[in-house]
Every structure is written in structure tokens, then in C-alpha cells.
Amino acid sequence: MSAAGGGRPRVRTGSGVVEGRTGADGTAVFRGIPYAAPPVGALRFAAPAPPAAWDGVRDAGSYGPTAPKVPYPEPFASLLSDPEIPGDDCLNVNVWTPDPAPGARLPVMVWIHGGALTRGSSAVPVYDGSAFARDGVVLVSFNYRLGVLGYGLFPDAPANRGLLDQIAALEWVRDNIGAFGGDPSRVTVFGESAGAISIGSLLAAPRAAGLFARAVLQSGAPEVLSRDRVRTMVRRMASLLQVEATAEAFTATGLPTLLAAQAAVLRRSNPMLGTAAFGLVTDPDTVPRDPLEALAGADGPAASGAVPLLLGWTAQEHRLWLAPTGAMPLLDRLGPLTVALARLRGGKDRAAVRVLRAGLPGAGPAELAGNLLADRLLRDPLRLLAGARRAAPSFVYEFGWPSRIPGLGACHALELGFVFDTLDVPESAWLAGPDAPQALADEMHAAWVAFAVTGDPGWAPWNGHGPPKVFGGPEREEEEKERAEAPFATRRVLP
């Protein structure tokens, strides 16, 4: 590492020298470093290719382009920040480090963002890695291809290209992070929602073996979709575009036109209900078999069985999906039919519903149905993974603090500002509301750091039964509980 004037540290990567920035706390950040070639032209639907080398010094002072995507529709756009930065060089990484010098050998955490594999990026302000660097961890985040570009299934292109991008980013970390002060043998991957689903596949992917030592799955479980579900999305797009359902034909289509067609088919997609969607599929080159079966079965891969896991969920995942859309009152009006349909969709028997009712006294049909679906999609498979016979321990948590925005409760994605210790970022308030408890962020962030450093977040490993570690749940005040159960408030909270 060398230093330029004005607090601009320089690091030599395998492709050339990058120049970052030094913050007021003395940590350094490097943004927008290419880990693969721009996925344009013939590379639009190809496996990631190595980045081109450069001469001189490349400025790494700002985030690089984000992967092409369509914006969140309202009301989700008012709750979930999703910056769009134009440009072709979207396969890029960011690095925050307390000591940008070879030989520091610090623990590394690699963040994989969520967004249903169709939205999101590493440039979301809530994902700022400064707090991790402050606490002695090298934090890496990156972009990967989304939607049809990353997960559309074609006869003339490799499957799971977004996952191949993630593997390429992890290979970049292995080969380059030592120059930024990180230890490539002490890498923890962590992700939320689609990021956690991706980690489930990375744990089961032979090509990812050895690229990380620990893993954190937040509100996302290992899963693959049927190939027909994903092909349906491509065929619908092809019909709108009036072209063949091939990568060649989609490559010849202008990107704005392609994204407009993607936006149209996404409006008809509901992964929660099992309809057509973009997602990971089994594939001999990336995910040879269903990752949950591979990881939780008796014949699970030995390499992933040696990876300690930290995994969990929020207490009211479903409220992000149901409350802002106004679905909660509608489902309540349908009464017992709502619960019956959710029970069948979730594969639950009537005894399971009785247990749920006992644990949620006074809960209406929408609340019961949402919990049944969240159990099926998230909690049940995560419990299965945590309780599998593995050589390494699994630590399970639940995030129970309810948002200060009435109606959201302890919803999906609410824990992110606490994990990153970025409650002071304005976008954190979009979900959390004003005056979220900093003490809870201190506790949760410290647990994630401890897991990356030692493999132990601070509580006992999961033994297959018993309650998880709860963050912000049992001690919540009565007024917070009332706020969580109130109708959703549509206003965005900003400073």
C-alpha cells in the first residue's frame, strides 16, 4: 500500500492500482473496483470474464455502476432504497478496511445483497461498511447480474449467471484481499433475503468450495426453483418482445426494451405464492442438486459441513410483503378461508395452526396466514439446516424489535440497519422509523463481528430445539407492540 496526498490510499490489485479514500475515523474505502469484464455485447448472457488490466492509477472514490434492473414499485420504493448508477462496468466490488496494507491478515466479511434476485445493489446506503472497518473487519460488497440477465434460463447460455458472478467476486477476494489487509482464509459471507438464498447455493456449489470459512443467512433459506417456473418468465418476455426465447435473440434486443419487458412480467410474478419467477435452478455446472437437500441430508458435502453458520429471521417477516400493499385488511375480511389456504400452501396440518394461535393470542387471519407462509419459505428450512448433522455449529437468532412505522412490525429486512450499525443513515429510517434504538444496533453488530472474528456470536449453538437468540423482542414496550399491530402508515419517515 502507498499513500497519495489528501488521504488517498493506493493498493495494487491483480488488474492494476486503485486509489481510495480515507475517512475521518482513519479507515479506508475503495469503491467500484471491477472483478469481471462488463457484461455487454457477447458477454451479456455469458459466464463472467476476467476484467481488463489498466495502466496508471484507477480512481476508486465512488460506487461503480449498478446492475441493470427495474425499480421497486410503490409502496416498496418508499421503504427500500435502491440507487441506480448507470454504466456498463457493473460487476464491481467495494472494500472498507481499517488497515490497507499487506500482512495485516484481518478477518473479512463479504456482503451479498438481497432484492428477490431482480433488484438491489451494493450501493444501498444502509450497506455502508464503515462500522465493520471501525471494528477491525475488512468489509467487501459487490454487484451481480439480476433478473433475466442473471437468472433467465436459455438453451444457449449458462444457467445461474448471477451465482457465477458471485463466485467470481469471491475469487477476486481470495486473490486480492490480502493487499487490502484482509486474510483470504478468514472470509465470512453474509447476506439477506435473496443474498441468503444465494449463500445457500454457494454452500452447496462445488465451484465455491474453499472460498469462505463462515456463513450468515438472514431471512433467506437455500432453495432452487423449477426450471419450468424460470423458463415461463423468459417465454413471457419473448412473447412481449416478439423474439425467440434464446440468449442470442435477447442479446440483440436493446437493454431498455428488455428491461421494460422484464418489468411487465414481474408484475405477474409472486414467488411467495409459487408463481413464475426468476431464481436459481439446479444445474450441473453450479448447483448440481437442491441445496437444502444437499446441506441438510445425511450425505451433505463435507466441505460445507465444516462451515459454521449464523442464521435467522425476523418475527414478522410477512408484514413487509402484506402490510404496505393493503393486503392485511383484505385477508382479515376473508377470515377462515385465508388461514385454510395458507395452511395448504404451507403444507401445515391443523395442529400446527392451533400451536400458532396459542403463540399469537388475538392474531387475525392475515397475521396467522403470513406466519404460516413465512414458516414455509424461511423459518422451517432454516431450522432444518441449523439442525442438520454438521461438523460445525449453527447459531440461530430472531429479530423481534418492531418498526416505529405503524403496521410494519418486525418485518423482513428491518434488521439490516442494525447489523451494519447504520441507523444514522437516512435510508434506515425508511423501514425503522425515527429514533431506532442504537443499543440494539450495538448488540447485533457486535454479534456479527464476533462471529466473523471467532466463529461464536455470543450464544449457545442450536441443538435442534428450544428458542433462538432474540434481538429486541421480549423486552419491547407495550406501546411498541401496539404500534406493530396497527394499520400500516404510508408516510416515509425522513429527517
Measured in whole angstroms, how far is the alpha carbon of residue 478 from the centre of its chain?
31
The CA–CA distances, whole Å, from 275 to 122, 143, 146, 237, 267 equal: 28, 26, 18, 15, 11
Are 299 and 389 in contact by the 8 Å Cβ rule? The answer is no
The Cα–Cα gap between 390 and 464 comes to 12
CA angle 72, 113, 306 (to 5 degrees): 150
Look at the chain and count its residues.
495
Q: Taking Cα atoms as reference points, which of 178, 143, 183 lies closest to residue 162?
A: 143
Q: How far is CA 322 from CA 53, 115, 216, 329, 451, in A?
A: 47, 16, 26, 9, 32
* Catalytic residue set: 193, 317, 412
